[in-house]
Amino acid sequence: MQHLTRIKWFVLLVILQALVLNHVHFGRFATPLLYIYFILKFNSDTNTKSLILWGFSLGICIDILSNTPGLNAAATVFTAFCRPKLLHVLSTRDPDDKFEPGIRIMGLAAFSRYALAVIFLHSAALNIIDAFSFVNFNILILKILSDALMTLVCVLCIDSVRRER
Amino acid sequence: MRNLINFLIKYNHWLLFVLLETVSFVLLFRFNNYQGSVYFTSANRLCGAIYDMTGQVTRYFGLADVNRDLTARNVELEIEVERLTEALEHYTQDTTGIARLRREALAEYTLHEARVVNNSITRPNNFITIDKGRADGIRPEMGVVCGNGVVGIVYLTGASHSIVLPVLNSRSNISCKIKRTDYFGILKWEGGSPQYAYVKDMPRHSEFSLGDTIVTSGHSAVFPAGIPIGTVDDMTDSHDGLSYLLKVRLFTDFARLNNVQIISSAKGTEQTALEDSARIALER
């Protein structure tokens, strides 16, 4: 049953990202990279390998739909690889504790901190690989920050709505 | 040996990480080099079908503007045709010749209608997906135009969808010239606004003024000569100081692209084959 929910979220996020959010550019820059929410919500005891594999399949699905083979996959694999360490460092809970990261369980402050770190890492990786040069450094930084901020807002919104159910 | 195996078992997620990153980057670079696999892009069957559905919904939103643009362009062309016909009649005193000329000009080229199903304008390298593919006679390297002007060149073809490399891609190179004075250069896009591109390699002695129209040169087999691209908006020296760099305001509004035409020319394949064999001969 848990797998079914996971696959449902997977399809939903891929479709939403590729068809809608990739075409959203607030103030000509900020694009919400909401699909990373999928990686954020894995249980804290998920092993890194399966996280990386899920990240790769998520990234490649979005890539295929948006004509950027490998771009999102590379960034998402990197993010999935870093997530366990970030969660371990940034959550105030016992490391052996098993929990699903979220506002309800971690509290708003801790979850925001953890989400911001993961999202920022993802946005930085994605935009650096995409631009593949530091020629327009200021624009790159602006894009990374605006994407990360936009994504964080979306993730917090979705998570608080989900919590109330 | 045992230590090595223990090490590999303990850190096997590192291996997986490196492996998948390598796969991703191979995909990324293969697509960036010319002609990657169709399966990893939106030209494959499933993605094409998904974009067909969304395209059917979203294409209605821009219809009013497209219509207005087309009408304006139509009127412009009517006036021009009228003027040219008069001039021709004046010079040749022959009215039946004009119809023949028009037939001959279009005889070499076939136009295929297609609809844009996916489009991006804000990335450093943008791509457009259209709903015609190999089955409809579309081949890579064909030119793509819309009612207002040049769009780009077909890059990859799937069975029933294709990917177009538009002007708004840093790898696009389109040979162009100034309509009034015939000096030619290369049209490039360097990111930023989707309304402006640059003409490089315009010689220092060339004559032009701001507001001049830029059209395709017809030197490559892809586009026939004289398809409008844009107007000269600004001029600067190129980085090496040997030529001018013209800023061009594009006629095509890529943000509202709906219907496009793909130009295939019978002469084109022959010219391309000839140029390719010449290049291969030189490289030997």
Tokens representing residue B172 in the block? 């696009």
C-alpha distances out from residue B58 to A129, B123, B147, B256, Å: 30, 20, 19, 10
- The answer on B217 and B230 residing in a single domain is yes
Sort out which chain B residues have CB atoms less than 8 A from A12's CB and list them: none
CA B52 to chain centre: 21
Q: What is the Cα–Cα distance from B260 to B253, expressed in whole angstroms?
A: 12
Res. B89 pLDDT band, cuts 50 70 90: confident
- Shortest Cα distance from B100 to chain A (angstroms)? 44
CB of B12 less than 8 A from some CB of A = yes
Residue B226 lies in a domain: yes
Sort out which chain A residues have CB atoms less than 8 A from B37's CB and list them: 69
Interface test with A, best of B9, B11, B13 (most A CBs within 10 A): B13
- The answer on B220 and B155 residing in a single domain is no
C-alpha distances out from residue A157 to A34, A68, A76, B52, Å: 11, 28, 21, 31
Residue B7 lies in a domain: no
Cβ pair B24:A77 closer than 8 A = yes
Cβ pair B16:A52 closer than 8 A = yes
Sort out which chain A residues have CB atoms less than 8 A from B21's CB and list them: 74, 77-78
The mean predicted confidence, pLDDT, of chain B is: 81
Give the pLDDT confidence of A21-37 residue by residue, as tens digits.
Answer: 888 888 777 889 999 99
pLDDT at B95 over 80: no
Residue bearing tokens 């304006």: B72
Query: DSSP secondary structure string, B252-265?
Result: S-GGG--EEEEEEE
- The answer on B198 and B249 residing in a single domain is yes
Cβ pair B47:A64 closer than 8 A = yes
**Nearest of A105, A95, A96 to residue A40 by alpha carbon:** A105
Counting the structural domains of chain B, the total is 2
What is the b/e burial string over B134-173, where b = at least 16 CB atoms within 10 angstroms of the residue's CB? Answer: bebebeebbbbbbbbbbbbbbbbbbebbbbbbbbbbeebe
The fraction of chain B above a pLDDT of 70, given in percent, is: 88
Give the pLDDT confidence of B100-144 residue by residue, as tens digits.
Answer: 655 555 567 788 888 888 888 887 788 899 988 888 888 888 889
Question: Over A2-66, what HEC string results?
Answer: HHHHHHHHHHHHHHHHHHCHHHCCECCCECCCHHHHHHHCCCCCCCHHHHHHHHHHHHHHHHHHH
Q: Among all residues of chain A, which has the CA nearest to that of B22?
A: A74
Q: For residue B241, give the CATH number of its domain.
A: 2.40.10.350
- The answer on B163 and B188 residing in a single domain is no
**Residue B76: domain span:** 57-169+259-264
In sign, the C-alpha dihedral spanning B229, B232, B237, B243 is positive
Tokens representing residue B30 in the block? 């293969």
Residue B174: beta bridge partners? B187
In sign, the C-alpha dihedral spanning B223, B224, B229, B235 is positive
Q: What is the Cα–Cα distance from A130 to A31, expressed in whole angstroms?
A: 14
CB of B27 less than 8 A from some CB of A = yes
Q: Please classify residue A1 by burial: count the beta carbons closer than 10 Å to its beta carbon, then call 0-12 exposed, 13-18 middle and 19+ buried.
A: exposed
Give the pLDDT confidence of B142-179 residue by residue, as tens digits.
Answer: 889 887 788 999 988 888 899 999 999 888 889 998 88
Q: Where are the domains of chain A?
A: 2-24+32-164
Of the two residues B32 and B164, the one the predictor is more confident about is B164
- Quote the pLDDT of residue B11: 79
CA B51 to chain centre: 20
Residue B247 lies in a domain: yes
Chains A, B: CB contacts within 8 A come to 91
Residue B185: beta bridge partners? B176
Interface test with A, best of B9, B11, B15, B27 (most A CBs within 10 A): B27
Q: What is the Cα–Cα distance from B266 to B271, expressed in whole angstroms?
A: 9
Residue ranges, chain A, pLDDT below 50: none
**Nearest of B16, B41, B20, B19 to residue B30 by alpha carbon:** B41
- Comparing CB atoms, the residue among A48, A70, A130 nearest residue B25 is A70
- Shortest Cα distance from A146 to chain B (angstroms)? 14
Sort out which chain B residues have CB atoms less than 8 A from A66's CB and list them: 42, 118, 120
- The answer on B216 and B148 residing in a single domain is no
Q: For residue B99, give the CATH number of its domain.
A: 2.40.10.340
Sort out which chain B residues have CB atoms less than 8 A from A69's CB and list them: 27-28, 30-31, 36-37, 40-41
Cβ contacts of residue B186 below 8 Å, gap of 6+? B173, B174, B175, B176, B199, B200, B201
